[in-house]
A and B are shown apart, each in its own frame.
Chain A
Amino acid sequence: MTANASAGWMVPSARLWRMRLTQVAAAGPVLTVAAGLAAGISAGAWTGVAAAVVVAAAAGIVLWVERRRYRAWAYREREEDLIVSRGVLVRRVSVVPYGRLQFVEVTAGPFERAFRLATVQLHTAAAASDARIPGLERDEAARLRDRLAVLGEARAAGL
């Protein structure tokens, strides 16, 4: 694993990776066949094969990128703030003091619900704060939400 797995750092659930894998596995072949057929019918068999190969390769690349992105997510609850680290191409680290939390949002899209996952997003009064943790197991998301709410209330500071 990455350096993020070291002490104190938490990572999203392994199911997040399975979810991404399923998404690509479901969409990839369909798109490959569709692209192959469309190009094959309109511009000849070899063009169709070439198009299918290109799309299949693109799906592979997406999978590789998603794998790296998945492994880059990490968060850590420190004494006074939450720190979230993410990103492959652009590495980002966000530090949000508990006292600055305006509200915590827990969302789960249809895919996340199917995999019993949820995304926790932290909102401060600054529009640029972007601490978001996807793919948390539901219990962990609820625990984090409640803990952040308690800590936020205890340390709340005015604007």
Chain B
Amino acid sequence: MTEDFGAGWHRLHPLSPLIQGGGLLSGLLGIFALSLVTAEGYEAYVYQLVAAGAIMVAGLVRWLVTRWKLDSATLRIETGLLRRDSRQLPMARIQAVDMVRPLLARVFGLASLQIRLAGAGKGDDRLAYLTLGEAARLRAVLLAGHHGLDPAAPEPAERPVITVPAGRVIGATLLRAAPRFVALAVIAAVAARAAPALFPASESTLAVIALGLVTSTCLQVTARYGFTVATSHDGIRIRRGLLSTMAETIPLRRVQAVRLVQPLLWRPFGWCRLVVHVAGVAGRDSGPKAGGLTKALLPVGSMSEAQHLIRLVFGPDIPELAKPPKRARVKAPLSYHFLAAGHNKVMAVTITGRVCKKTVYMRLEKLQSVRLSQGPAQRRLSLASVHGDAAGRQAHAAFADREADQARELLDELATLGRSARSTESAGG
């Protein structure tokens, strides 16, 4: 049954409503238990029972009206009782496929598939929940369809590349959170010293903020726990998570740009992180323009691991970097020490940043537009910056403070190279 998805319509797993309502239900049950202890009569908690029932019924109805179907090139999802919503997801347009498994779903051996398309609306393109086998098989079919391969082919083998040890994840997350904790402690100390009479009142506020910080740090650790990067023919696969797990698959040619970030506090350890930009919809960025999707390609790792991953994504030819002319130090005194950029026929690499060093790697075929900008100080020094934009909000490579004449040439050169890279790409499939 899970071997092949025939022509007919399929339903989600019958346990889906239970798992989708799971979070809310457990909250309600908590309140319910509390009111059992505190309230006098049962009238006080009958509302919670009604609400819980309503959630279950809504989930059940949702399950009843949702169905999906797979044909040769598209995945169709239909849902909605009053307002029918029918979606066609062409495999060729897939940007990434995520398999998300919350804790409760893992208990029952289920998984949800989230299919990312560029600019496809409110992230409703997900199937929650399928059995694990079904989800894995469907993912393989979708990705094979994306690459124009035979969908009946078995799921390609994965080759693990990098595993991030748990200790390093915890250490790095704590180091990133450290400045905030220090700032909070300083505020608390100052408050206690300056206004001892008022301190008890502000103490509780500070405690709440501290609790929030601790929770978010813990969440970050659990989300990045057991981070593994693997490669297979259908793309890069990222697995992570302690309680709820996530397996993200990004087809290599869907990578818009990769950003390497080296925060100040990580530099003594030689750590860095990699972020990959994909054209897609990031939850709250819903504007007229397609939002971007960023995924951690490496939450924390050594420079050699990062270089290895970058070669994996972009191939062995990484362009040489050149620093901007010395006089640029006048215009950018705080970032000049990092500024560098370079490009070859197929990709661009740029470095910017003041305290935190950011390196952007971008394939020229992904260029959406090229811009040149020259501020007053730059004009005085005859410098100019060139920006290459890829799809999304932040996928952007900046050739900062180059010689004005060269910048003007670079503008045309990047546009030309981008065009030829695109045409060879489309010719090669």
Contact = CB atoms under 8 A, between A and B. Distances in A.
Given A100-B368, A100-B369, A129-B368, A90 B374 contact: yes
A126 interface: yes
A91 B418 contact: no
A135 B257 CA distance: 35
B95 interface: yes
B369 A129 contact: yes
A124 B367 CA distance: 10
B106 interface: no
Nearest to B387: A128
Contact of A126 (B92, B373, B389, B411): B389
A102 B390 CA distance: 13
A127 interface: yes
Interface string A117-130: 00000011111111
A150 interface: no
Interface in A105-140: 123-131
Interface string B89-115: 000110100000000000000000000
A13 interface: no
A126 B379 contact: no
> How many A residues touch the partner, as a band?
20 to 34
Interface string B118-132: 110000000000000
Contact of B371 (A92, A157, A159): A92
A130 B279 contact: no
A102 to B, nearest CB: 7
Interface in B278-302: 279, 287-292
Given A125-B118, A126-B391, A126-B395, A97 B371 contact: no
Contacts of A153: none
Contacts of A99: 419, 422
B411 A93 contact: yes
Nearest to B366: A159
A157 B370 contact: no
Nearest to B118: A159
Nearest to B407: A93
Interface string A84-99: 0001011111111101
B415 interface: yes
B368 A124 contact: yes
A146 interface: no
A157 B391 contact: no
B17 interface: no
A89 B368 contact: no
B393 interface: yes
A24 B222 CA distance: 59
Contact of A97 (B288, B289, B419): B419
B290 A94 contact: no
Nearest to A98: B419
Contacts of B254: 159
Interface in B371-429: 371-376, 379, 384, 387, 389-393, 395-396, 408, 411-412, 414-415, 418-419, 422, 426
A127 B289 contact: yes
A77 interface: no
A81 to B, nearest CB: 6
Main secondary structure of the interface of B (DSSP, over half): mixed
Nearest to B416: A80
Contacts of A89: 375-376
A124 B389 contact: yes
Nearest to A130: B371
B379 A131 contact: no
Given A91-B379, A125-B279, A127-B292, A159 B373 contact: no
A107 B118 CA distance: 25
Given A97-B415, A99-B422, A157-B426, A126 B372 contact: no
Contacts of A128: 369, 371, 387, 389, 393, 396
B411 A95 contact: yes
Contacts of A95: 369-371, 411-412, 414-415
Contacts of B292: 127
Nearest to B412: A95
Nearest to B422: A157
A68 to B, nearest CB: 13
Contact of B373 (A90, A125, A158): A90
Given A81-B415, A123-B288, A123-B289, A97 B369 contact: yes
Given A92-B372, A93-B372, A94-B371, A125 B418 contact: no
A127 B118 contact: no
A91 to B, nearest CB: 4
Contacts of A96: 368-369
B293 to A, nearest CB: 11
A130 B422 CA distance: 21
Contacts of A93: 371-373, 408, 411
A124 B372 CA distance: 17
A147 B124 CA distance: 35
9 contacts: A91-B372, A95-B414, A97-B369, A97-B418, A125-B119, A125-B289, A126-B389, A128-B389, A159-B366
Given A124-B389, A127-B290, A129-B369, 10 more contacts: A91-B379, A92-B371, A94-B371, A97-B419, A99-B422, A100-B369, A124-B369, A126-B396, A127-B289, A127-B291
Q: Which 10 A-B pairs have the closest CB atoms?
A: A125-B391, A126-B389, A126-B368, A129-B369, A124-B368, A93-B372, A91-B374, A128-B389, A95-B370, A127-B393
